[in-house]
Structure 1
Amino acid sequence: MIGFWIAAAGLSAAVAALVLRGAARGLTPAGDDPALAVHRRQLSEIDDLAERGLLAEGELKAARAEAGRRLLAAADQSAAWPREGLGPRRVTVIAAAAAPLLALGLYVVVGAPGAPDQPFARRVAEWKAGDASLLDPPRIVAILEQAARTETDNPELYRNLAIARMAGGDAIGAAEALRKAVRLAPQRAELWTALGEAFVTSEEGQVGADARTAFTEALKRDPENLSARYHLAKGEIADGRLEAGLAGWRAVLADLPADDPRRPVLAAEIDRTAQAGRLVDAVPQQAAAGEVTPDMIQGMVEGLAQRLAAAPDDPEGWVRLVRAYAVLGDAARRDAALKAASERFADQPRVLAALRQAADTPPAQTLNVPKSNAR
């Protein structure tokens, strides 16, 4: 391999020298050389003498032939390389030719030309052998994708791959992995639910046709599935069937445990939707432009909690939610969100550490936001 690079560097240097030498010759016009100007002037003077009748025909031919010969000789001499010193053209060409050779020599001295390539598969193996809690989502995805090439019949593997892709912000990739999971284990309601949630996330909260199909399949296998019921009711409201959708949401709210952090979020969403008669954003639209009010902050936090209720496999989102409740001084919701997230990510020490750190964030004394016990 090193021999190939030496040959390539030499060839590059030779080609650069030839190209730049030709370019250097062509850059300077012929008339710039004073010697050529002298011989051209002599030819002009001979023609002038002939026109005035001062040269016979034979003398004119001989004089013009001699002047032309001298002009050609001078032109050849000016095109040749200067023999005295290194002119700017020669320096340029030498530098261009020497650059590849110098670069190669520096690489041989400083670099490691004999080191073998590090294939991607080897890097994935190193990540897999290390501490999984220190890996970011893209590396976890790479490990799981490599495993999926051999374990093509493992639905749990595809579920974990979907979680990792979702954590990395790739909702479409998560849905693709979950499609494979439900094909392998169509009887598992939680896989259909996760597939529907991935579709909702990829469609920015909209419950589209694919999501509704997935949630319907989940309900066939688990009629009490809260996420599927919530999203199908949301689809009813989006289609204009307000009362039917609100009835579905109220039934979900009644089935949620008393300490479930999703209860206040869903209750607030039901109130907003009933008042507006349609689906509305969690952030109050009447807030003054550029003004951040306590109600606006509360609305943004509720919006984040609502999104996590729809797509809970988002560790960074849970960390932000726990921190937000801590900043707001809402200890009850903070602890409930911390508990729910810790149970979901119990096998990810890095996420658990981030959650604990977020829960320890001191509250902001300037915010006057109603707490969960005010309801």
Structure 2
Amino acid sequence: MIFFWIGAAGLSAAAAALVLRGAARGLAPVGDDPNLAVHRRQLSEIDDLAERGLLAQGELKSARAEAGRRLLAAADQGDAAWPQDGNGARRAVVASAAIASLAAVTLYVLIGSPGAPDQPFARRVAEWRSSDPSRLDPPRIAAVLEQAAKTRPNDPELYRNLALARIAGGDAVGAGEALRRAVSLAPQRADLWTALGETFVAGDNGQVGPDARTAFAEALKRDPNDLSARYHLSKGLIADGKLDEGLAGWRALLASLPPADERRAILAAEIDRTAKAGRLVEAPAPGQVQAAAEGGVTPDMIQGMVEGLAARLAAAPDDPDGWVRLVRAYAVLGDAARRDAALASASTRFKDQPRVLAALRQAADTPANTAVQ
């Protein structure tokens, strides 16, 4: 509260200074100073004499210089800020400014609440904790979990859920911090190392960077069959130009999937597409499918990009933005069956996140584009 009163006093002082400045200008003498008028008249007379030929050129310069010097000296001696009889007016202005400031403070004390404290953040978090989770957005869910972590600092599952809430809210850095805490508490859990790697990938725009590779390698040490770790490490090899080695890893992963696993078709399509292109084909961003059609990209190429996105989500499903892109892509392609299947899967996974659900429904309503079908 002390900062409020300091700020109020500073504003009052600034307002008073502005009032005094305006009053000084208002009380300045109106009209021309007689002394200055005399010197200006002398300059005018010198010019008149020169025009009539009564003053030589050399005498004209010296006369004008002397008259100008006297004019400047007279101007320096003038003081138009306050008239000598303006002390009473000045005191009246200062008193008015002081009275206005005191009146404002008194009015605030009478009808305001200067002693009312701000609602503590902990109280707000407690209210969120007791409310329906489906009505909370990811940042509020993360705040509730952060509060819970203070009483359960050794619960790795809590930190995993905190990471999911943060990544859903767009805080990839915060999600990584939570998962680092989780793996430090339970370093034997491969799923935590995998989640950490996926968080690094999400924060690096889908790239499998050094930190992500380290996390996935730690996951494979604990679970050699971890699908996400195997997929991403092979993808990293392909990104490094080791196409054959990366494709071999993907083919081994494909062979390990059960025959009825729906991810087989997606991964097989990505393997085929990558082998033909000789490089990775990036997943489409929002609106990229329509733009690709307008730019002359073939439907097969667009379909390949969408399948690449689907394959990535199959391996790393905790990416709400990715699911929204996938549902929108299927809608643009007019593939109602896959659109509805992706919508159902994502809706189940993010059932406690209303904003994600709303974005998914909006993506599903995107009109189909016949140019890419």
> For each residue in 1:167-188, what CA deviation from the matched residue of structure 2 results, as whole angstroms up to 9, or x when unmatched?
1112222111111111101111
The aligned amino acid for 1:213 is T
Aligned length: 333
C-alpha contact (below 8 Å) 2:16/2:94 kept by paired residues: yes
Cα 1:352–1:242 change in 2 (3 A) is: closer
Distance 1:294 1:128 in 2: 48
Identity of aligned residues (%): 62
Aligned twin of 2:34: 37
The aligned amino acid for 2:354 is R
Deviation of 1:197 after TM superposition, in Å, equals 0.9
Q: Which runs of 5+ in 1 are unaligned?
A: 42-71, 370-375
Deviation of 1:81 after TM superposition, in Å, equals 2.6
Aligned pairs for 1:83-98 (under 5 A) are 97=98
The aligned amino acid for 1:17 is A
Helix, strand or coil at the partner of 2:83:
helix
Aligned twin of 1:79: 84
The aligned amino acid for 1:200 is V
Distance 2:364 2:294 in 1: 32
Helix, strand or coil at the partner of 2:225:
coil
The aligned amino acid for 2:129 is K
Aligned pairs for 1:212-231 (under 5 A) are 212-231=213-232
Distance 1:115 1:310 in 2: 52
Distance 1:75 1:341 in 2: 77
Aligned twin of 1:188: 189
How does the TM-score come out when normalised to structure 2? 0.70
> For each residue in 1:210-262, what CA deviation from the matched residue of structure 2 results, as whole angstroms up to 9, or x when unmatched?
21221111112211111111111112222332212101111222333556554
C-alpha contact (below 8 Å) 2:183/2:192 kept by paired residues: yes
Deviation of 1:319 after TM superposition, in Å, equals 3.8
Aligned pairs for 1:148-297 (under 5 A) are 148-257=149-258, 260=261, 262-282=263-283, 290=295, 294-295=299-300, 297=302
The aligned amino acid for 1:328 is L
The aligned amino acid for 1:21 is L
C-alpha contact (below 8 Å) 1:137/1:165 kept by paired residues: yes
Distance 1:356 1:18 in 2: 57
Cα 1:161–1:100 change in 2 (3 A) is: farther
Distance 2:155 2:175 in 1: 15
Distance 1:25 1:132 in 2: 63
Aligned twin of 1:366: 370
How does the TM-score come out when normalised to structure 1? 0.70
Distance 1:342 1:258 in 2: 25
> 2:338 pairs with 333, 337, 340, which one?
333
Deviation of 1:27 after TM superposition, in Å, equals 9.0
The aligned amino acid for 2:232 is H
Cα 1:39–1:253 change in 2 (3 A) is: closer
Aligned twin of 1:322: 327
Cα 1:109–1:360 change in 2 (3 A) is: farther
Distance 1:77 1:327 in 2: 76
Distance 2:358 2:111 in 1: 41
Runs of 4 or more consecutive aligned structure 1 residues displaced over 6 Å after TM superposition: 4-8, 26-30, 38-41, 74-77, 89-95
- Stretch of structure 1 that moved more, 284-293 or 215-224: 284-293
Helix, strand or coil at the partner of 2:151:
coil
C-alpha contact (below 8 Å) 1:218/1:225 kept by paired residues: yes
Cα 1:276–1:294 change in 2 (3 A) is: closer
Aligned twin of 2:52: none
Distance 1:352 1:18 in 2: 54
Cα 1:290–1:28 change in 2 (3 A) is: farther
Aligned pairs for 1:7-156 (under 5 A) are 9=8, 13=12, 16-17=15-16, 20-21=19-20, 24-25=23-24, 37=34, 78-81=83-86, 97=98, 100-101=101-102, 103-104=104-105, 107-108=108-109, 111-156=112-157
Aligned twin of 2:65: none
C-alpha contact (below 8 Å) 2:274/2:281 kept by paired residues: yes
Distance 2:362 2:248 in 1: 36
> 1:312 pairs with 317, 323, 329, which one?
317
Distance 1:112 1:207 in 2: 55
C-alpha contact (below 8 Å) 1:237/1:246 kept by paired residues: yes
C-alpha contact (below 8 Å) 2:298/2:372 kept by paired residues: no
Distance 1:293 1:102 in 2: 74
> For each residue in 1:281-318, what CA deviation from the matched residue of structure 2 results, as whole angstroms up to 9, or x when unmatched?
35699968745764565355335434434542123432
C-alpha contact (below 8 Å) 1:304/1:321 kept by paired residues: yes
Deviation of 1:343 after TM superposition, in Å, equals 4.8
Distance 1:109 1:218 in 2: 65
Aligned twin of 1:51: none
Cα 1:338–1:124 change in 2 (3 A) is: same
Aligned twin of 1:50: none
